[in-house]
């Protein structure tokens, strides 16, 4: 009877098999589905419904040839936290040593490392893994799963932000750095070669004068939006850096003669930051803007 049922089940399309597994209560049948179904989503659903057969769950979770979502689904139902941690650490260690092959590629390209780390039994275990591992992507996953140990988390983030080879990992780490790390953020903004990572650090710097200096020295490494440029323009004129101020200001001026009240208001908002009247009017001489309508 069970064989006939399974034959009929596996002859069905995936949505019907999913629905059949949802109604299934026999752990024996669920285990067969887990072993034989070619669709990882169906097998994972079956593994997630197995509760009592802990030995079978351990075998599924340990099976490196099993699809990751099936292994993780089985892992979630393991009652023995120590065994669960051992399987996770063994898998991650194997991944670090392997550095090639389908499992390594799947774990890294699909971001499932984060899920594996998230199944560890305690925050202490996650922190220990983050400190011990030499794989920066696994360390990033540990950081993402840390909700306690804020100071230690910031230390791990800082190491990623300055040492990770992949620019996207550095940028993501910098984005998680607390603004209290001003000294390190400034150091990163002056030295980072990736535009996204540099911009993340730059946007967290609280001293406008330092921001302006970074902009003047490294404009090609920054992706600045309109608001940041407006702030930099204000700082430039306040500190007497008129050349930088004009450079920032020119692209923000619309091609218009400022006829409407809204256009005049917008222009006043832009030009209101210019403290030096003489420099302001010299600038207007080279535009089509009517000085009488400004300020």
**pLDDT for residue 1:** 46
The pLDDT tens digits for 6-26 are 555 656 677 888 888 888 888
Cα-atom radius of gyration of the chain, to the nearest Å?
Answer: 29
- pLDDT-wise least confident of 16-25, 63-72, 125-134, 269-278: 269-278
Q: Is the pLDDT reported for residue 112 higher than 90?
A: no
What is the token pair recorded at 171?
Answer: 């940028």
| Per-residue DSSP letter, 257 | -
pLDDT of amino acid 223 = 86
**What confidence category does residue 35 fall into, taking pLDDT thresholds of 50, 70 and 90?**
confident
Average pLDDT estimate for 50-78 = 90
pLDDT above 70 (res 261): no
What mean pLDDT is reported for the chain? 80
Contact 23, 14 (CB under 8 A): no
How large is the average pLDDT for residues 191-197? 93
Listed in sequence order, the residues at least 6 apart from 207 whose beta carbon sits closer than 8 Å to its beta carbon are 182
Structural contact between residues 56 and 78, judged by C-beta atoms closer than 8 angstroms = no
Give DSSP secondary structure letters for 168-224.
HHHHHHHHHS-TT-HHHHHHHHHH--SHHHHHHHHHT---HHHHHHHHHH-GGG---
Instruction: Please report the pLDDT score of residue 189 as a whole number.
Output: 95
Report the alpha-carbon distance of residue 1 to residue 9 in Å, rounded.
12
Which of residues 23 and 294 earns the better pLDDT score?
23
> Phi/psi of residue 289, each to 5°?
-85, 135
User: How buried is residue 210: exposed, middle or buried, by Cβ count under 10 Å (0-12/13-18/19+)?
Assistant: middle
Per the model's pLDDT, the better-predicted residue between 17 and 271 turns out to be 17
Q: Which residue has the higher pLDDT, 259 or 119?
A: 119
Cβ-based neighbours of 2, under 8 Å, separated by 6 or more: 28, 29, 32
CA 247 to chain CA mean position, Å:
33
Residue 197: pLDDT over 90: yes
Least confident of 29-38, 99-108, 139-148: 99-108
> Residue 206, SS3?
coil
pLDDT of residue 270: 56
Residue pointed to by tokens 């996650």: 126
Q: How far is CA 150 from the centre of its chain?
A: 18
- At residue 57, the pLDDT reads 94
d(C-alpha 174, C-alpha 155), whole Å: 12
Q: Are 47 and 73 in contact (CB under 8 A)?
A: yes
pLDDT band with cut points at 50, 70 and 90 for residue 128: very high
- Region 44-48: what's the mean pLDDT? 91
For residue 123, the model assigns a pLDDT of 92
DSSP one-letter string for 91-154 = HHHHHHHH-SSHHHHHHHHTTTHHHHHHTSS-HHHHHHHHHH---HHHHHHHHHH--S-HHHHH
Q: Which residue has the higher pLDDT, 230 or 193?
A: 193
């Amino acid at each position: 009877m069970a064989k006939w049922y399974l034959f009929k089940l596996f002859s069905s399309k995936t949505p019907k098999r999913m629905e059949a597994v949802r109604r299934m209560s026999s752990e024996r049948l669920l285990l067969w589905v887990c072993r034989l179904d070619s669709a990882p989503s169906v097998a994972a659903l079956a593994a997630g419904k197995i509760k009592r057969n802990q030995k079978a769950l351990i075998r599924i979770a340990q099976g490196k040839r099993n699809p990751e979502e099936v292994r993780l689904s089985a892992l979630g139902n393991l009652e023995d936290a120590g065994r669960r941690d051992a399987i996770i650490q063994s898998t991650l260690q194997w991944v670090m040593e392997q550095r090639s092959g389908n499992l390594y590629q799947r774990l890294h390209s699909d971001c499932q490392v984060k899920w594996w780390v998230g199944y560890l039994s305690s925050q202490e275990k996650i922190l220990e893994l983050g400190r011990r591992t030499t794989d920066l992507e696994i360390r990033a996953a540990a950081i993402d799963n840390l909700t306690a140990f804020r100071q230690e988390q910031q230390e791990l983030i800082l190491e990623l932000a300055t040492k990770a080879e992949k620019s996207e990992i550095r940028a993501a780490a910098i984005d998680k750095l607390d603004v209290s790390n001003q000294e390190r953020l400034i150091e990163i903004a002056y030295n980072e070669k990736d535009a996204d990572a540099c911009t993340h650090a730059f946007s967290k710097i609280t001293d406008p004068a330092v921001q302006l200096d970074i902009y003047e020295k490294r404009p090609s490494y920054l992706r600045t939006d309109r608001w940041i440029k407006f702030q930099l323009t204000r700082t430039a004129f306040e500190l007497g850096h008129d050349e930088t101020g004009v450079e920032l200001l020119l692209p923000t001026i619309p091609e218009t003669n400022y006829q409407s009240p809204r256009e005049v208001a917008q222009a006043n908002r832009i030009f209101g930051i210019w403290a030096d009247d003489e420099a302001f009017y010299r600038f207007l001489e080279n535009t089509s803007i009517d000085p009488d309508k400004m300020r």
